[in-house]
Amino acid sequence: MTLRHRPSLQRGFTLVEVLVVLAIISIIMFLSVPNMGEIIKGSKLTQAGDQLRNDLAQAQMTAVKENLTVEVRLYQYKQPEMDPAMASASYSAYQMFTLIPDSTKPSDPKAERILAPFGKIKKLPSGIVIPASETWSTLVSNNTLATGEQQVLGLIPTEKQTAATYRSFQLNPDGTTNLGSTGATQWYVTLINLSDLEKAGGAVESIAPNNYICIQVDAYNGGTRWYQPN
C-alpha cells in the first residue's frame, strides 16, 4: 500500500507582513515614550514623598520615645550635576537630630543642648527638589524659622564635607512643635520635578508644575498630611 503525504497548509510570514508588524510596533513605542517619561517622573515624586513623610513620622516617634526634642534640618547646597541657579532656588536633602541636654546642667532649660544626628543624611531622589518659595514651601522659606550654615558629611561622595544652608524646625517630646508660636497658620513643603523649576528658569514663583506633592506639618501635634493633584 502506498502512503501519500498531504501537503502542509502551514506557511511562514511574508516579508511584507513582517515589515507591517514592525512598523506597527514602532508606532506604538513612539507614542508611548512621552507617557513613559511622565510615569517615571510621577514614580520618583511618589518615592520622594513617601520617604520624607516616613522620616518625619520616625522623627516624631523618636522625640516621644526618647523624651528628647528632635530637630529637622532641610538643606540647600551646590550640586555638581545641577545648574547653580537651580541649586540656589531649591532644597534637596535633610537630616534629623536629637537635642541632648548638657549633663553638667541637667536642670537648666536655657543650657545649650548637644546636637546628635540619628540616622544618615537623606537626599531626595535625583530630579526631585523642594522649591525655595514661601508660596510652595513655608518650611524652607519663612523667615521666622531657624536658619544657618553647616559643613555636612555625606552630601557629595567626592567631598569630605559640603557647605550647606539649612532651615530647621523642632518636634517636642510632648508631641508639639516649635512652629505654633511663629505666626504662620500652615507649614508645608512641596516636592516637584526639577524639570518644572528648569522650565521657569529658576524663578520659583513662576513654576507651574502639572504634578507635585505637598506635605503639611501640623504645628500643634507634628502630624503630617499629604496632598497631590494627580
pLDDT digit string, tens, across residues 198-213 = 998 888 888 988 899 9
Distance, C-alpha 67 to centroid of its chain: 28
DSSP state of 147: E
| Segment 10-45, tens digit of pLDDT | 566 677 777 888 888 877 766 655 566 677 788 899
What average pLDDT does range 58-67 have in this prediction? 93
Copy the grid coordinates of residue 63.
522625640
Residue 126: partners with Cβ closer than 8 Å, 6 or more residues away: 44
Structural contact between residues 215 and 187, judged by C-beta atoms closer than 8 angstroms: no
| Alpha carbon separation from 105 to 101, 109, 112, 116 (Å, rounded) | 8, 9, 9, 17
The average confidence (pLDDT) of the chain is 86
Q: Which residues of 76-89 are buried (b: 16+ CB within 10 A; e: fewer)?
A: bbebeebeeebbeb
pLDDT at 4 exceeding the cut of 90: no
Question: What is the pTM (predicted TM-score) of this model?
Answer: 0.81
| Fold held by 16-227 | minor pseudopilin epsh fold (3.55.40)
